[in-house]
Structure 1
Amino acid sequence: MSDVGQSHAELVEAFRESMRHVASTVYAVTTLDAGKRYGILATAVSSLSFEPPSLLVCVNRSASLHDPLERAERFCVNVLGMGNRDVAEHFMLPRDDRFEVGDWVEEHGVPVLSSAQSSLICRTAHRHTYGTHTIFIGELLAASHREDATPLTYFDRDYIDISQAPLRRNDD
């Protein structure tokens, strides 16, 4: 690495390329606003605290979900499994019919994918704006998990099956 500074454009591109090589679980973040379902795919989701149980979701302010999520009091983070790839591919395209693929039910006033690996229903506790995104902090209201699911993982612009990846042991 060099100490020579990069231009802003070079830095952004290097950051984008670096983040493409970080394997991430795929999430469908959903909410209900004025009776209409909204959702996007996200990878910028993280657990935050066990007391209270909470997580954070980062959403670009230009995303179709942003304004409805800004108004909503609740949202769901659906952790997608390998069996939900069709849902992920459908959610990736700009469309109003994102919920036509998958078995969606309403729980606690938000859309929940019944076949998701996990579903985490949250009450919006805080919203923070930073750069191009809003960070939504959600306190958990309900959670469900399927034991038999393998997470849908995104890496270098493609989905990968981490259950097929060889494990390496350090025998030192």
Structure 2
Amino acid sequence: MTTTGEGAGVDVDTYRHAMGRLARGVTVLTTTASGQDHALTANSVTSVSLDPVLLLVCIETDARFHDAVLESQVFGVSLLAAGQRGLAAWFATPGRPLPGQLDRAPHTRGAAGVPLLDGALASLECRVRDVHPAGDHSIIVATVASARLAGDPQAALVHFRGQYSALP
């Protein structure tokens, strides 16, 4: 498949495989909107600035999480440990039931009320600052309101060439 318009001539499958060769940390994003918890596995999370402390996430506009985070204006980021591979797979499962999706994921609530996964290497609480449309995704720039580190960090869960792996 080749794109049309901007980037025309780029084979989408080749691009997808090329980007798959970029090892990335795995996170679960969480929010609560209209009394319902939402979660999503994401690896498009990037530090933007230290002054002010900002990060960005890229969310597909068709994802349930997209509308939920725009409604709530807050979200959590749990940076997953290698032992949390099952949670990464669960929160990446398309069409999983929304009610009770966090039942299998031990978690606590942060100051903003968002779920943060227990056992994560680190957890961040964020407030939406800007939203930028970008193709079939939105780039959400957020102010980091809090950051917590695990006391005894384990190996990190990374995604590389379509597979989850551990990085010591």
- TM-score, with structure 1 as normaliser: 0.86
1:3 matched residue in structure 2: none
Equivalences for residues 85-124 of structure 1 within 5 A = 85-93=85-93, 94-95=95-96, 96=98, 97-107=100-110, 108-124=112-128
RMSD after superposition: 1.6
List per-residue Cα deviations over 1:101-132 (Å, max 9, x = no partner): 22111112211112111111011111111111
Query: 1:62 and 1:145 mapped to 2: Cα distance?
Result: 32
Figure out how many residues of one structure are paired with residues of the other and give that number: 158
Residue 156 of structure 1, CA deviation: 1.1
2:60 matched residue in structure 1: 60
1:17 matched residue in structure 2: 17
Equivalences for residues 10-159 of structure 1 within 5 A = 11-93=11-93, 94-95=95-96, 96=98, 97-107=100-110, 108-146=112-150, 147-159=152-164
Residue 10 of structure 1, CA deviation: 5.2
Query: 2:137 and 2:104 mapped to 1: Cα distance?
Result: 27
- Supply the AA of the counterpart residue of 1:114: D
- Supply the AA of the counterpart residue of 1:106: R
The unaligned stretches of length 5 or more in structure 2 are: 4-8
Answer with 1 or 2: which has the greater Rg.
1
- Supply the AA of the counterpart residue of 1:105: T
List per-residue Cα deviations over 1:33-66 (Å, max 9, x = no partner): 0111001111111000001111000001011211
Structure 2 contact 33–72 (Cα < 8 Å) conserved: yes
Query: 2:59 and 2:72 mapped to 1: Cα distance?
Result: 14
**Identical pairs, percent:** 28
Query: 1:82 and 1:156 mapped to 2: Cα distance?
Result: 16
- TM-score, with structure 2 as normaliser: 0.88
Bigger mean CA offset, 48-57 vs 65-74? 65-74
